[in-house]
Amino acid sequence: LPQKTAARIVTSVEKIRDSPLDHLYPLQGSPYYKLRVGNYRVILDLRKKIMLVYMIKVGKQENVYDRI
């Protein structure tokens, strides 16, 4: 990822830490969630009981969903 894009993604993930469910969308047919950051999608695993967010995959919208 370009450095500027990576920085935007990190900032976006940090912004959702207090209320992630307000900003995430569930992936159909998957236990994961997605976060939109421009043309990129961040695939996340959310552990609700302890409010942990794991970053699973980052990529452009057209191919990030491959092999999830």
Q: Which CATH number fits domain 3-60: 3.30.2310.20, 3.40.605.10, 3.40.50.800, 2.40.30.40?
A: 3.30.2310.20
pLDDT at 65: 85
Positions of the chain with pLDDT lower than 50, given as ranges: none
- Exposure of 48 in the CB half-sphere (CA atoms within 13 A): 6
pLDDT at 54: 80
pLDDT at 20: 85
pLDDT at 48: 72
pLDDT at 51: 67
pLDDT at 1: 86
